[in-house]
Amino acid sequence: MHPTFSLKIMSGNTDRIKVLFFGDITGRQGRTAVKNYLAGIDRQEPVFVIANIENASHGFGLTKKNYEDLASNGIDCFTSGNHIWDKKDIHEYIDSADKLLRPINYPAGTKGVGSRVFEVNGQKLAVINALGRVFMPPIDSPWQVVVDEVERLKAEGVEHIIVDFHAEATAEKICFSKYLAKEFNNEENALIKGFFGTHTHVQTADEKIYNGMAYITDAGFCGAEESVIGMEFATSLKRLSTSLPERYEIAETPVAQINGVEVLIDRTKSTQIKRINLLVDNSKNESEAAFEKGG
Ligand SMILES: [Fe+2]
Ligand SMILES: [Fe+2]
């Protein structure tokens, strides 16, 4: 139903895998900040990098050019959401973009795939991307299609599954994550190693390990900090205060926030989740690029 793709990332001496997951990369400032961050990480131990990119190209969708640039700068798997179709060229390249996911619960026949399998440190790790339905545009139910996909991946010998659930409502995210962790994880082994919410662009402080699964309601976003969830203040103000159809403009101020989570996975469960919440000034050159903690 959904073709899988196998990619050899790297091998190491330990079974442990570090997963970095970034919330919605939004515009140029977000792309630059994440690329610089990834250029500085230690890849001596196995690291698998996932980023939600639904807003990466000027706030709306992802161009082929930006996909290729991010794919060659350290991102191993790209998840997305309701904005994935916003740039026209996605329809031309999505079927050949072998690191890219679109939500799995679009109707049958939709281009692209909603899950992929990667080989990381000699272990099969799958990523599933799904859309929520509460306060979201109409879409097929994610519940059964995700369960069916988890069953299919399990039968294929996948050891680790990470879910990016792109949704508005906190309750839908918590409920879906608990359902999957109760259904597929137990004391001895957790198949669902991570369940990370995206879409609201605001990082929540509820990260936890639940039944062997790393969880956060929303990972936040990567983009200009002086903004309204990544969009320019003035156009956001006009639109939100008047309800007139003002077009949102991307915020371009150079201080960017980097939001995400860092998760440690061993063979049977996730052992640690830490939030990434940093500010970086993109206008400074690399030698001055000291990261400071975001508030
Ligand atoms: Fe987004
Ligand atoms: Fe979204």
Segment 128-139, tens digit of pLDDT: 999 999 999 999
DSSP run (H or E) holding 151: helix 142-155
Q: How many domains does the chain have?
A: 1
pLDDT score at 292: 45
Q: Per the domain annotation, does 11 fall within a domain?
A: no
Place of tokens 């030698």: 287
Instruction: Kindly give the pairing relationship between strand 221-224 and strand 255-265.
Output: antiparallel
pLDDT at 286: 58
Q: What percent of the chain has pLDDT over 70?
A: 92
Q: Indicate which ligand has the atom closest to the C-alpha of 168.
A: 2
Distance 60 CA to ligand 2 centre (A): 9
* pLDDT for position 44: 86
Residues with CB under 5 A from ligand 2 (ion): 81-82, 199
* Distance in Å, CA 204 to ligand 2 centroid: 16
Residue 103 lies in a domain: yes
Active site residues: 83
Cα–ligand 2 centroid distance for 15 (angstroms) = 34
Domain CATH number, residue 51: 3.60.21.10
How many Å apart are CA 281 and CA 112, to the nearest integer? 35
Per residue in 73-108, pLDDT (tens digit) is 999 999 999 999 999 999 999 999 999 999 999 999
Instruction: Give per-residue pLDDT as tens, 152-199.
Output: 999 999 999 999 999 999 999 999 999 999 999 999 999 999 999 999
287 has pLDDT over 60: no
| Confidence (pTM) | 0.93
Question: Is the residue at 262 inside a domain?
Answer: yes
Q: Which ligand is nearest to the CA of 25?
A: 1
Compute, in angstroms, the gap from residue 150 CA to the centroid of ligand 1: 25
DSSP assignment letter at 288? G
Q: What is the DSSP letter of 94?
A: G
Model confidence at 294, in pLDDT bands (50, 70, 90)? very low
3 in a structural domain: no
d(CA 205, CA 117) in angstroms, rounded, equals: 29
User: How many helices, marked H, and strands, marked E, lie in the chain?
Assistant: 6, 14
Q: What is the CA(165)–ligand 1 centre distance, in A?
A: 12
Closest ligand, as measured to the CA of 60: 1
Residue numbers of the domain that contains 80: 17-293
Which DSSP category does 190 fall into? B
- 32 occurs within a structural domain: yes
Asked if residue 55 belongs to a domain, the reply is yes
- Whether 8 maps to a domain, the answer reads no
Strand pairing class (115-120; 77-79): unpaired
For the residues 26-53, what does the mean pLDDT come to? Answer: 96
The pLDDT of 58-69, averaged and rounded, is 98
Alpha-carbon gap, residue 223 to 28, rounded angstroms:
7
How far apart (Å, rounded) are the C-alpha atoms in residues 147 and 196? 16
